[in-house]
Amino acid sequence: MTITLPDLPYEKDALAPHISSKTLAFHHGKHHNAYVTNLKKLIEGTDLTSETLEDIIKKTVNDADKAGIFNNAAQVWNHTFYWQSMKPNGGGLPTGDIAEKIDADFEGYDNFIEQLKNAGLTQFGSGWAWLVLNNNKLEIMKTSNADTPIAYGVKPLLTVDVWEHAYYLDYQNGRGNYLDAFINNLINWEFVNSNLV
C-alpha cells in the first residue's frame, strides 16, 4: 500500500477563527507530511511496504526495535482521523444515533463533554483524547505521543489532537480554550455517526 498525505477535507481557512489557516498549514503541510515522509523512508525495502497503514500499526506496537515505524505510522493514521473529526460550523449537541448512545452511556451530553475535555487537559505532554467504542460501550480514552486505540482493537469514533503544535499558534498555552472550541464549534457528528455503524 502506498502511504500518502491525504488532502484536508476542507479549505485551510474553513475552521477559522477556531483553528487558523496558519495552524492548519503547519499542522497538515509540515507535521502530518513529515510523518508520511518518515514512514515511507523507514519501511522502504521491508515487508511492511505491502501492508495497510492499520496493519503496520498493529504489527509494530510494543516492538522497541520498530518504535520509529510505529510512531510515524500511528501519527499518520491519527492525523487523518483528526481532520475528519472536525468540520466548519460543527460542534454542539450531537445528532443521530450517537446522541442516544451518549445519553445512555454517559448519562447525558454534559457529562460526556466534561470527560472528553478532562481527558484532553490531563494528558500530560503530547497526545490525543478519544471517544471510542469498546465492547459496544462508549468510553473516553487518552493516549500519549503517537499511541492510538486501533493498535489495541478499540474502535475510535472521534479524536482531538492535544500536541502543542495543534493549538499553540492560536491559543498559546490555553489547551482548555482549544478544547472548548473543538467541542463547541468543530466536532463533526456526521463523521462520528458514520464510525458507529
Q: Which residues sit at the interface with Mn ion, rule CB under 5 A?
A: 161, 163
Cell numbers placing 17: 477563527
Residue nearest to Mn ion (CB): 161
95 contact partners, CB below 8 Å, separation of at least 6: 189, 190, 193
Q: Which is nearer to Mn ion, 70 or 163 (CB)?
A: 163
Report in angstroms how near the CB of residue 135 gets to Mn ion at its nearest. Answer: 28
Contacts by 178-184, CB closer than 8 A, 24 or more apart? 179/116, 179/117, 179/120, 179/121, 179/129, 180/117, 181/18, 181/19, 181/91, 182/18, 182/86, 182/91, 183/91, 183/113, 183/116, 183/117, 184/91, 184/92
Report in angstroms how near the CB of residue 132 gets to Mn ion at its nearest. Answer: 18
Report in angstroms how near the CB of residue 105 gets to Mn ion at its nearest. Answer: 27
Looking only at the bridges linking them, the beta strands covering 137-144 and 155-161 are: unpaired
Q: Which is nearer to Mn ion, 106 or 163 (CB)?
A: 163
Report in angstroms how near the CB of residue 66 gets to Mn ion at its nearest. Answer: 21
Among 114, 131, 132, which residue's Cα sits nearest to residue 176?
114
Q: Which is nearer to Mn ion, 31 or 59 (CB)?
A: 31
Q: Which is nearer to Mn ion, 160 or 183 (CB)?
A: 160
Report in angstroms how near the CB of residue 27 gets to Mn ion at its nearest. Answer: 6
Q: Which is nearer to Mn ion, 145 or 193 (CB)?
A: 145
